[in-house]
Amino acid sequence: MHTRRTTRRFRTAACLLAAAALLVSGCSSGSTSSTASSAAEEKGAAPTALPRSTPAALMSYYEQKPSWRDCGVPGFQCATVKAPLDYDAPSAGDVRLALARKKATGPGKRLGSLLVNPGGPGGSAVGYLQAYAGIGYPAEVRARYDMVAVDPRGVARSEPVECLDGPGMDAYTRTDVTPDDARETDALVAAYRKFAEGCGADAPKLLRHVSTVEAARDMDIVRAVLGDKKLNYVGASYGTFLGATYAGLFPSRTGRLVLDGAMDPSLSARQLNLEQTAGFETAFTAFAKDCGRRDDCPLGGRGTGPEQAGKNLKALFADLDARPIPTGDADGRRLTESLATIGVIAAMYDEGAWQRLREALTAAKRNDGAGLLALADSYYERDADGSYANLMFANAAVNCLDLPAAFDSPDEVRAALPDFEEASPVFGEGFAWMALNCAYWPVRATGEPQRIEAKGAAPIVVVGTTRDPATPYRWAEALADQLSSARLLTHEGDGHTAYGRGSDCIDSTINAYLLRGTPPADGKRCS
């Protein structure tokens, strides 16, 4: 039970954030998505594959010998390796990257290292390895692979970006993200500015070098220092973008890659947010249908349809906007509309959290906001002592560098509101305003929407779940269409990602690929 709860926490917090409100979210109509894809095609495939030979200026990084030590977690070892802060100027300084591993347990011939990444961006891969992957992945996989994780630059143990202290984050998370007038709009903009200024003051140099391309290049250094000729990798959510980027840069060094809960790299930030908004609406509809089969459904009781359930939830949010309710929190925090919204969103990542959400909504209707606040805190990775992990800081830092901002001003958000509200009557308004955060970022974006083809790479397994809220299924189809060697594996179900979430068909298919190198037939479907 403990492992299961820990696993769920990572799947509903660390793995989820590619789309969450304050960072990247998304959703959109089919017509606009095709336009975005066409525009990306005109730009050509990206990123460009790097030369197979290692440049002399980088050789010292590739020849590092990690000094493994005890982690303080039984069975795991930790080490630190260096990567250049700026790959275009390797002499300008280093970034220290935190690694962890759990060696192959046997029996059977060792297959090398298997790197894992839970997503985010901003999720701690080291934490994910120690709390779940290193002990919860199938025994036959752990027997044959050294399970390895590296926290990407700027994340967790790898020179983490910090933006606000605990009280500052408390204020930030309760900021109204559905402003009703000019005063509330100014307050939201001020909150985004303060957040961005805090990040810029904390890491003025690093903030320019936390892109996904740089993190992927770091992974190739890690591959080399581990002694592996090719990279074997399982990435979830944003981790699929990281893995696909690696394949695009190093197709000849790409081994067995599993990209679970795939992102579409050809979309702009606005399109990602719009399509993700629709994804959460799809997930909410599934939750609402399940809720409507129950006498105690807090959104209207048995027989309530999804549309009415959505209206009832919006009414609750409006009540909380007007009058936040008590939570019993030691720091005196009350449940605001923004915190309640994030609490609901957090539960959309895993259908196993639906009962907890029903209980939290029932309590909120009785003037007790503790349940929804706890869900929001898990999403933000807020500890009981009022401190926050750096997940949200790193999430913004990477997203705002990888793509130009979705919106440049409040006026642009207002103009886009009809599209977002059409995509999700429940979450659309909030998701649109949350996508404004990168407009005030202190560092200009270095990336752009582009297709990734990775010509020459070994077969890559792309996994999509049909009712995934954070990474809509269409994204998996799009990525599989772009990658020249992709095999699309479909999970017909709910929740975010598929591997290790209860489908024997999914798990056995991925295990066969990781252990024997046998990819599934393209288009295979599992329930």
Burial of 88 (0-12, 13-18, 19+ CB in 10 A): exposed
Written as one string, the DSSP assignment of 18-41 is GG-TTS---B--HHHHHHHHHHHH
CA distance 109 to 111: 6
* Cis geometry, peptide bond prior to residue 107 (ω within 30 degrees of 0): yes
Q: How far apart are CA 265 and CA 259, in angstroms?
A: 13
Put residue 502 in one of left, alpha, beta given phi > 0 → left and psi -120 to 50 → alpha: left
Closest C-alpha to 462, from 433, 438, 498? 498
The closest alpha carbon to 458, from 263, 251, 265, belongs to 251
Q: Return the SS3 of 96.
A: strand
What residues contact residue 487 under an 8 Å CB cut-off, 6+ apart? 459, 460, 461, 462, 480, 519, 520, 521, 522, 524
Cβ–Cβ < 8 Å for 240, 450: no
Q: Residue 62: name the closest of 174, 220, 176, 245 by CA.
A: 220
SS3 342: helix
In 169-246 the beta strands, taken as DSSP E runs, fall at: 231-236
Handedness of CA 207, 213, 217, 223 (dihedral sign): positive
| Active site residues per annotation | 237, 468, 496
- Hey, what's the torsion of the CAs at 344, 415, 418, 265, to 10 degrees? -60
Which runs of E-coded beta strand occur in 357-516?
460-467, 486-494
